[in-house]
Amino acid sequence: MCGITGIFDTRHRREIDLGVLRRMNESQHHRGPDEGSVHVEAGLGFGHRRLAIIDVATGQQPICNEDGSVVLIYNGEIYNYQELIPELLELGHVFRTKSDTEVVVHAWEAWGEDCVRRFRGMFAFALWDRGRETLFLARDRLGVKPLHYAVLDDGTLLFGSELKSLLAHGGLRNNNGIETTAKKRFSERL
């Protein structure tokens, strides 16, 4: 299992409160007791709790591409990741790990949003592409790996593997109606 969580400022790239992000991340400790880490930059905070299964030695997250311009947090398993590696190597991508997580990063670079069409498996992930100024959230077609989100009135997008990570932020006024409103507004932007 693993747990992901994050904060994204959709409007102003305000500074992310590291204490709040860590609190959100720790609310999912049971999903990933092996490791916990965060990544913060202007307007963005990612948190990850790891249950180490694939590539135990080098599969830490958040993970970046070679130049650090693409950052990913991921929960799940891409069953066909070993089949995708030779194709990505042929396109010039360099792998530092043996993890399916790094395949997601390079698949994004190669195929953009269509990368998810290439994945067989169960997954939920958040990817920040600094060069494109794009935050991409995705989950598997059946929703085996959950991904909850809400948009606050100030334009802050919260997301996580569990609703309690969103509640740990402290910015939700109530649980009734906000998620529905957020889904509608967020879907309109896609």
Residue type, 92: G
Q: In angstroms, what CA-CA distances link 57 with 35, 38, 98, 153? A: 12, 18, 9, 41
Specify the DSSP class assigned to residue 113: G
pLDDT band at 187 (very low <50, low <70, confident <90, very high): very low
* CATH for 41: 3.60.20.10
Catalytic residues: 2
- What pLDDT, in 10s, does the model give residues 89-147? 999 999 998 889 999 999 999 999 999 999 999 999 999 999 999 999 999 999 999 99
**pLDDT > 90? residue 157:** yes
The residue with tokens 């990913």 is 72
Structural domains counted in the chain = 1
Instruction: Please give the residue range of the domain that contains residue 119.
Output: 3-189
Q: Look at residue 188 and tell me whether its pLDDT is greater than 70.
A: no
